[in-house]
A and B are shown apart, each in its own frame.
Chain A
């Protein structure tokens, strides 16, 4: 059993003291060093000191009291200092336990860090994203089921699907590849509720759906043979942070598999120009919200920089000829609704722009449903091995 080691760190630049991992000492003496570090940090701090417990997985009463005492004492001797304790909605007990400190001393404020991880979050966690995800996975699965074995998928493995969305990928993988265990994590409660519902309706009870923040997971190090993360690095403003977490939970010798798009390369015939214009604009629109939907071909670089070896990158084109062209058209309708109907509006785009923007999606649908038409959506699938 691997427990995350305890860490107590002070970042003087941001005046942030962070606690992470598991700390369950028998006596205060065992944590004397961290306590004195904490005291020194408070002595040094001016104005507001942030106490970050987002990644604190476990802390027993002995440690909690000892650290609380330091803060409470400081409030009594230093009227010039304020504390902001930042807890996470993922680790339920921290929120419940730390909030009492604010009741004792008005100089202490307890905040729940939850939303605003990244600028695009409000769109992506919204229920309007559900139809997009559902139709997308249906289309990409035909390709992915063939290529996944090359990226480390095989029966009996322990795997995690991080940023699982509505969980349909986990359900499909479970059926096709029979892994021994699947953990599926996302930060959208709406998507997880949907995922659990679908699983229940299919009589599936062994996919472990979990609410969590992919950039600070409760999952322990070196656990999974395969970690998948689909279409999600591209929506974080700091994909490297997320990749670092995926690396951490992957077993040495295991693989991390990511898929991403390059939206400006979506294409169609007829009406190629209008389609191309719109998808160029899609890429710009996402970058306005600090999301890089052009990330696909950059996968190799990201994986290499994160420390992976044996990197494998391939791409496939989802097209209207993969199955029912209407499925392809449904994906685009879902895109149009969210990208033109919500995101462009949020950016404050004028009506004429939005109309032209919508036209490209409609032309893409036209191409998809045209008897002699061709419509494509390219995806980059990549994986790397965590060195032994």
Chain B
């Protein structure tokens, strides 16, 4: 919106301020990421983790029936593999290395997992849109479903690849933040 989004004659600057609390209360992002890695992932022999991945695999199986969704399906399969190897590497580091170091990039893990989940939900939305388009809906709905597919494509091409950067930091137990000393600031 350019300058018009920066002034309070339009509500978007208020939306921005209103949302700033959300990463803080009810457990900050840092706290949530530690909860995810130290409790939620290992809990009950990784039951929740496995159940979640299983849901994603179910959607991937369904998506295989739609040739136009092949690129997304392949990309999400790869992302799932990245998530698995990253998880394994982080859990191993937590068990074998200095735990403070092993958890020092926990927020990146949460972001990685979050991106995979959102990508999954976009694939689910794309399946619905693809099916609906095949039924030749009226014009307004054609636009609506095309918009869904385009937004999904945006997420897969512009956003999802970010997980590869985060995965590298996590699998290599990058120590940049951990090594930083209070006196160096």
- To the question of whether A and B form a pair in one complex, the answer is no
Chain A residues in the interface with B (C-beta under 8 A): none
